[in-house]
Structure formats: C-alpha cells, structure tokens
C-alpha cells in the first residue's frame, strides 16, 4: 500500500491561504533538527541515527535505530556510571 504524499480529494478545514497563515501563527513551531525523530517518538536521551520502512504482508513496519545522546550512563544493575557496558 503506497502512502500518498498529497490527499487525492479536496482538503477540508483550510479554506484559503490567509486562514492557514493565521492558524499557523497561533502554533508554537519547532525547526526540524537532528533530534526531531527522537522528540516525536518520545525517546528521551536517544538520538535516532537511521530508520527504514519495511512492508510485510500488507503491513508497514518502522525500524528505528538509535544511539545514546550521552556517552556516559548509569548501569541499570549496579548504578555505577560508566562509558562502556560492563555487566
């Protein structure tokens, strides 16, 4: 199943460009950055490095590959702060 980039029918809700600009002016806009996917997916402390979309048996599966945003982290077992996996 292909995902259309633009809807095939008329767009409901936006009647003219001036109205759309007024609506946008009320929103808090964020620039797209390296952390955009991490923020949208709710992955605090992670940075999405790559993603791919796989189609399988009529379903679409999103694979997201991440890395830690920080080079140190507490061990979930012992609580020691480390720069490498030690347990």
Q: What does the pLDDT look like over 8-63, one tens digit per residue?
A: 666 555 466 777 776 777 767 667 777 888 888 888 888 888 888 888 888 999 88
Cite the DSSP H helix spans in 36-75. 36-40
What contacts 24+ positions apart, CB below 8 Å, involve 69-77?
69/38, 69/45, 70/45
> What was the pLDDT predicted at 32?
73
Confidence of residue 86 (pLDDT cuts 50, 70, 90): low
């Amino acid at each position: 199943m292909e995902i259309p980039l633009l809807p095939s029918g008329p767009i409901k809700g936006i009647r003219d460009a001036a109205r759309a600009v007024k609506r946008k002016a009320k929103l808090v806009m964020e620039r797209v950055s390296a952390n955009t996917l991490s923020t949208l997916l709710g992955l605090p402390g992670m940075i999405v490095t790559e993603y791919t979309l796989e189609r399988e048996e009529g379903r679409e599966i999103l694979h997201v590959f991440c890395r830690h945003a920080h080079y140190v982290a507490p061990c979930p077992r012992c609580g020691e702060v480390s720069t490498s996996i030690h347990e």
